[in-house]
Amino acid sequence: MNPKILLVNPPLYDFAAYDFWLKPYGLLSIAGYLRDKVDIELFDFLDRLHPFVAKQKNLESDRWGRGRFYCERIPPPSCLRHIPRYFRRFGLPQDLFRDFLAAQQHCDFVLIQTMMTYWYPGVQEVIEDVRSIWPDAKIVLGGNYVTLCTEHAIKLGADLLVQGTNLEPLWLYLQIEPDLNQPPLWQAYEKLNVGVLKLTEGCPFNCTYCSVPEVYGKFKARPLKRSLAELELLFRLGAKNIAFYDDALLFNAEKVLKPFLDEVIKQNIKVNFHSPNALNARFLTSELAELMVQAGFKTFYLGFESSSVQWQQQTGSKVSSDELAQAVQHLFSAGADPQNITAYQILGHPQIDIQQLEKSMHFVNSLGIRGMLADFSPIPGTPDGLYCREWVDMDEPLYHNNTAFPIIMMGFDESNRLKDLQRKLNRLLPGSKPNVTGSH
């Protein structure tokens, strides 16, 4: 008899959350490698196509498949009580999960994905429920929180922690030989309108505020054949919107993204592509912009952060203001909708004195594209995370919260003033619509 495995994407405890094409890609990839060797069930607290969510009002998806999560207001944790915002639990109700566990045959293993470090209370909730209903199940945690806050994660009481991208300890623990050529198990969803792809791992840069070098290591491309097989599967299952989770999607495009998009066009695969993890404008040539638009890219998120040369140089020099302006021109010439081109800028970074955020916001606006303030989260193990010990206790992951930290660092009024200014600037753009805010 095959072993039984339950995959869980936990609920989120946060001030704000928005479904910006969030899918548990790591968990589904693992399930794909184990295809046909185990019996798999999925409980995704963040699945907005779940029948429970369909019955709620105002949770419809927008035209690109994004939308609000079901949520409940809850008291904030004591260390965040002074943050003047409502705290919530986002995701399917806890009772639904308990009923699901009670109705299922006991699983041998429960694999739980973790993401943001400060979302650990959702992981804790799942562990407690599994322990109380299936006391013999072995619980395995993997993902960003486990990798970045291992000492803290140990205290949650799982049976195994899988750090980083090395899955060997997991295969040994499960005593199963994986088939690494298999695509993610997207069939675990009954309904699918959004999918995720990753053509590459890691990033060649080393920005002082970013967790990617620590979690994913050096840049490397995945085999083209496998990426195409993943896309074909998603297309077949009805996913109309595909978000790239790559951190350096445009790097080495001649060998990675271009051949992929050429195939998409050749095979006449019609989907909408999105880049929530930010594109690096430096590599966005006119030829690449044309190919991306032709192949179906609809939204373009560009990582910019600041127009201050001093700030750019101190944090890793990933992109310059001229490179951003040039990339935007290439996208305009290729026919991309200016309303769907967005530049991220960090709000609440500890080097705010040299970041010149307001000037930077006006610069982005002058290019005729939208700006989005990405709330800064201090990440342990990064130079900026280390520096943030001056403001918060970095050993408590709740303090990494990206709504809380900018308020702690710069004050509630200043943080609100800048957010209001961003909304005002976006409204000034021709053809502007209500703002979409979210975490990514």
Q: Give the whole-angstrom CA distance, residue 303 versus residue 342.
A: 9
Q: Which two tokens stand for residue 412?
A: 């509630």
Minimum Å gap between C-beta 196 and ligand SF4 is 16
Q: Do 177 and 238 contact (CB within 8 A), yes or no?
A: no
For residue 233, report the phi and psi dihedrals to the nearest 5 degrees. Answer: -60, -45
Between residues 67 and 303, which has the closer beta carbon with respect to ligand SF4?
303
Q: Which of residues 150-189 bind ligand SF4 (CB under 6 A)?
A: none
Q: Is the dihedral of CA 38, 44, 45, 51 positive or negative?
A: negative
x/- map, 294-323, ligand SF4, by CB under 6 A: ---------x------------x-x-----
Stretch that binds ligand SF4, among 31-39, 81-89, 99-107, 203-211 (CB under 6 A): 203-211
Minimum Å gap between C-beta 164 and ligand SF4 is 16
CA–CA–CA angle 142, 12, 115 (5° rounding): 30
Q: Which two tokens stand for residue 266?
A: 């050749």
Minimum Å gap between C-beta 289 and ligand SF4 is 19
Between residues 145 and 186, which has the closer beta carbon with respect to ligand SF4?
145
- Report the SS3 class of residue 337: coil
Minimum Å gap between C-beta 434 and ligand SF4 is 28
Contacts of 27 (CB under 8 A, 6+ apart): 7, 8, 9, 42, 111, 113, 142
Between residues 39 and 323, which has the closer beta carbon with respect to ligand SF4?
323
Between residues 183 and 348, which has the closer beta carbon with respect to ligand SF4?
348
Place of tokens 């619980």: 139
Measured in Å, how far apart are the chain's first and last C-alpha atoms? 40
- Contact between 324 and ligand SF4 per CB under 6 A: no
Q: Which of residues 254-293 bind ligand SF4 (CB under 6 A)?
A: 280
- Report the SS3 class of residue 241: strand
- Contact between 203 and ligand SF4 per CB under 6 A: yes
Q: Give the whole-angstrom CA distance, residue 407 versus residue 415.
A: 6
Quote helix, strand, coil % in the chain, to nearest 5. 40, 15, 45
Q: Which two tokens stand for residue 424?
A: 């005002």
x/- map, 207-246, ligand SF4, by CB under 6 A: x--x-xx---------------------------------
Between residues 13 and 251, which has the closer beta carbon with respect to ligand SF4?
251
Query: Which residues of the shown chain bind ligand SF4 in the complex (CB under 6 A)?
Result: 203, 205-207, 210, 212-213, 247-248, 280, 303, 316, 318
